[in-house]
């Protein structure tokens, strides 16, 4: 089983053409809906009593929610705006709400989960999950600039306990103080992770371990409606593929990156998690094959 800790919340998003208000969002929501195509996934998280029932039902139909607590108060909310360059996001407001009091609990069913995704949330919450987990096989962690600014030291502790750091290029530059992504990757390996995947949005990703480097382009999407959640959906495809193959080899890591691109490319085609609701495993495999074909020199 994959267990994901992260936010579940309500996103308000402005794009150059549209505004959507309080739609389902949050790192754990995006991640788990993506990873659930590959492998059973449970969420450790918290929502407020105001969380819309339709979103609960939606998540519940795909994901194990036994680790989600309901607190009195308002759910996490995130307001952001994308510019003419739709890959450039400006955060307008981050409302932690019930997250401020959150005490994550790994329920009995989750304690021995083999695969842990520590998605973007307070690093203290990530650490609490790590303290409870029993011998996870693979720990993948991510964060966002908000937490690097607020709790850098705690996130460095998360990294020290993680196998894979999966992080956006801007966040990695902020974390390392270094611009060059090859150097950034080496720095992360020096911190002790076995593997780093630097996500570059529309520009692809760079995977590095001590034995390999795998630069890869993103799947080219002509109609990017809303990039929110693309990084979390990437993570869902990435860890989902590893979990379903039950193997952490160079080969599966590279394939996992490509499944990350595939899931990221789907999520941006519509607002919120909408594209995933109509998605089939056949479409995922088809786009995976198409990715291999178009990126191949002989394809």
86 binds its own copies, rule: CB under 8 A: yes
CA distance 171 to 280: 32
Quick one: DSSP state of residue 112?
T
Cβ distance 93 to 79 under 8 Å?
yes
Contact between 112 and its own copies per CB under 8 A? no
Q: Is 85 a residue that touches its own copies (CB under 8 A)?
A: yes
| Strand extents, DSSP E, the chain | 2-5, 9-14, 19-25, 41-48, 64-71, 76-82, 89-95, 115-118, 138-141, 164-168, 195-199, 205-209, 213-216
Residue 20 in contact with its own copies, rule: CB under 8 A: no
In whole angstroms, how close is the CB of 205 to its own copies at the nearest point?
A: 9
Gap between the Cα atoms of 246 and 264, Å rounded: 22
Q: Minimum Å distance from CB 4 to its own copies?
A: 26
**How many residues interact with its own copies (rule CB under 8 A)?**
37
SS3 of 21, please? strand
At what angle are helices 27-35 and 250-267 packed, to 10 degrees?
Answer: 120
Minimal distance in Å, beta carbon 240 to its own copies? 17
Q: Binding its own copies by CB under 8 A: which of 61, 112, 179, 289?
A: 179
Residue whose CB is less far from its own copies, 72 or 84: 84
CB closer to its own copies out of 65 and 178: 178
Minimum CB separation from its own copies for residue 151, in Å? 24
Please report, as ranges, the residues that interact with its own copies according to CB under 8 A: 84-86, 173, 179-183, 186, 200, 202-204, 206, 212-224, 251, 254-255, 258, 292, 294-295, 297-298
């Amino acid at each position: 089983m994959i267990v994901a800790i992260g936010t579940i919340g309500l996103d308000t998003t402005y794009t150059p053409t549209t505004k959507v208000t309080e739609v389902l969002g949050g790192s754990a929501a995006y991640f788990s809906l993506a990873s659930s195509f590959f492998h059973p996934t449970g969420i450790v998280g918290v929502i407020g009593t105001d969380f819309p029932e339709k979103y609960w039902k939606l998540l519940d139909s795909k994901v194990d929610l036994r680790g989600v607590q309901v607190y009195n108060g308002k759910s996490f909310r995130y307001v952001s705006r994308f510019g003419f360059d739709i890959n450039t996001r400006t955060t307008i407001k981050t409302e932690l709400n019930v997250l401020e009091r959150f005490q994550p609990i790994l329920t009995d069913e989750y304690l021995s989960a083999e695969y842990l995704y520590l998605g973007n949330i307070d690093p203290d919450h990530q650490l609490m999950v790590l303290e409870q987990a029993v011998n996870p096989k693979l720990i993948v962690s991510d964060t966002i600039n908000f937490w690097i600014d607020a709790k850098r030291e705690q996130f460095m502790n998360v990294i020290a306990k993680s196998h894979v750091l999966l992080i956006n290029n801007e966040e990695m530059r902020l974390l390392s103080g270094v611009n060059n992504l090859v150097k950034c990757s080496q720095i992360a390996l020096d911190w002790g992770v076995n593997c780093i995947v630097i996500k570059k949005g529309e520009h692809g990703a760079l995977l590095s371990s001590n034995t390999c480097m795998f630069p890869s382009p993103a799947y080219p999407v002509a109609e990017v409606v809303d990039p929110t959640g693309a990084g979390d959906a990437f993570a869902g495809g990435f860890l989902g593929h590893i979990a379903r193959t039950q193997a952490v080899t160079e080969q599966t890591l590279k394939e996992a990156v490509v499944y990350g691109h595939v899931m990221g490319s789907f999520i941006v085609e519509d607002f919120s998690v909408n594209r995933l609701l109509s998605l089939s495993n056949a479409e995922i495999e088809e786009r995976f094959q198409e990715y291999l074909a178009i990126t191949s020199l002989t394809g």
